[in-house]
Amino acid sequence: MELFMGNKHILFLALFFIASWGMQLSAVSATTKIRFGSNVLGNVSLNCHTKNGDPWTKVFKPFNGESWEISEATFCNVTSDEKGFIDTFAFYDPKRDSVRCPLSCLWDAVDFGVIGRPDEYLTPPDLFLDWKKTKSCRQ
Tell me the mean pLDDT per 10 residues along the chain, length 139. 51 41 44 94 96 93 95 95 96 94 94 91 90 64
Cα angle 127, 110, 78 (rounded to 5 degrees) comes to 75
Question: At 82, phi and psi to the nearest 5?
Answer: -100, -30
Cα 98 to chain centroid distance, Å, stands at 9
DSSP assignment, residue 54? -
Distance in angstroms (rounded) separating the CA atoms of residues 85 and 77: 7
Distance in angstroms (rounded) separating the CA atoms of residues 107 and 100: 13
Cα angle 73, 47, 56 (rounded to 5 degrees) comes to 70
- pLDDT recorded at residue 2: 52
Bridge partners of residue 89, in order along the sequence: 76
Flag whether the pTM goes above 0.75. no
Strand order in the sheet with 113-118: 65-70, 32-38, 104-110, 113-118, 127-130
CB-count exposure of residue 85 (10 Å: 0-12, 13-18, 19+):
middle
